[in-house]
Amino acid sequence: MIWSLLGAIAAAVCFGTASVLQALAARTAPTSTGVDPRLLVRLVRRLPFLLGTGLDLLGFVAELAALRSLPLFVVQAMVAGNLAVTAVVAARVLHFRLAVREWAAVAAVCIGLALLGLAAGHENPAAVSLTFRMALLGCVAVIAVIGVAAGRLRGAIRSAVLGLIAGLGFGLVAIGARVLVSLSPLDLLRDPATYVVAGGGLVAFLFFATALQRGSVTTTTAAMVVAETVVPALVGVLLLGDGTRHGYAWSAVLGFVIAVGGTLALARFGEPTTETDEMRPSSASLQ
């Protein structure tokens, strides 16, 4: 199990670093109205985005490995903790100082994740029916339609809805990965969960990039964090049989609340290019 925990931590490090690179690329790409799938095409022409995507792929492999033997609520909280990594990396790269409350939020994420690691029990891939897998695939289609409609909204409500949709997409990726029984190529091609992982990831990526490009960073990221942690956690506990080590339920609940709370406090680091406008300059760099 220790390797699975290390895999979840590695995923958070990869995702957190990738977000710094991808956000820089997203802000420099030409904008358009609504949700435009061509945004992804424009982004892949930018080296920072490609490097970030490579880290995302490494992070997903690590996350998939963790989901093979850890409960969803543990892995998703750890993955959401990537904003703590983003905050530290962005502060280093962009040369600004983190406030005391932001360091406290980073520490809270670390403490929460430690409590989750303490409570984590060993899980096997969940055995679910074909109907359940097809329902997940249907959910991907539904959130895609809602996301396209949400792209026509204006202001903070658009940021919140697109962030929520992106979070649900990332949550479906995690749930789909959790119910993959076999990783052999032929089994993957036949398993609807494979297409849940692929479709959910594409939908989440598109809507999150759209929201980052034209919306409120804090609103978008906070909505995404809530959706990608709470929803999969509930599905895991209520439908997939996820649990904790005997007698450690208190540690799981407390750790989850602290980790997610700390992550929400760092929500604006979901798009670090705005920090140069919002943060106090360090002595090394006057913004």
Are 115 and 279 in contact by the 8 Å Cβ rule? The answer is no
Q: At which residue do the structure tokens 């439908």 appear?
A: 239
pLDDT at 286 > cutoff 60: no
Query: What pTM did the predictor assign?
Result: 0.79
* Bigger pLDDT: 93 vs 186: 186
In the prediction, which pLDDT does 277 show?
43
- Does some domain include residue 283? no
- Does some domain include residue 250? yes
- Does some domain include residue 284? no
Mean pLDDT, residues 235-256 taken together:
88
Tens digit of each residue's pLDDT (9 = 90 or more) over 139-190? 999 999 999 998 888 777 888 899 899 999 999 999 999 888 888 888 899 9
Mean pLDDT, residues 187-199 taken together:
93
Residue 122's CB: how many other CB atoms inside 10 A? 11
pLDDT at 273 > cutoff 90: no
- Going by pLDDT thresholds of 50, 70 and 90, the confidence category of residue 272 is low
- Does some domain include residue 285? no
Mean pLDDT, the chain, rounded, equals: 81
- Does some domain include residue 163? yes
Cα–Cα distance between 143 and 83 in angstroms, integer?
24
Structural domain tally of the chain?
1
Are 257 and 194 in contact by the 8 Å Cβ rule? The answer is no
- Does some domain include residue 261? yes
In the prediction, which pLDDT does 19 show?
75
Cα–Cα distance between 87 and 252 in angstroms, integer?
24
- Does some domain include residue 153? yes
Mean pLDDT, residues 79-89 taken together:
86
In the prediction, which pLDDT does 258 show?
94
Q: For residue 119, what are its two tokens?
A: 């409570």
pLDDT at 107 > cutoff 80: yes
* Bigger pLDDT: 132 vs 35: 132
In the prediction, which pLDDT does 40 show?
60
- Does some domain include residue 286? no
In the prediction, which pLDDT does 280 show?
36
Mean pLDDT, residues 236-250 taken together:
86
* % of residues, the chain, pLDDT over 70: 80
Q: For residue 169, what are its two tokens?
A: 């997409």
Q: For residue 143, what are its two tokens?
A: 């959130």
In the prediction, which pLDDT does 244 show?
83
In the prediction, which pLDDT does 281 show?
35
- Going by pLDDT thresholds of 50, 70 and 90, the confidence category of residue 50 is confident
Name the nearest CA neighbour of 162 among 92, 119, 213, 101.
213
In the prediction, which pLDDT does 221 show?
82
* Residue 17 structural domain: 2-278
To which H or E segment does residue 49 belong?
helix 47-67
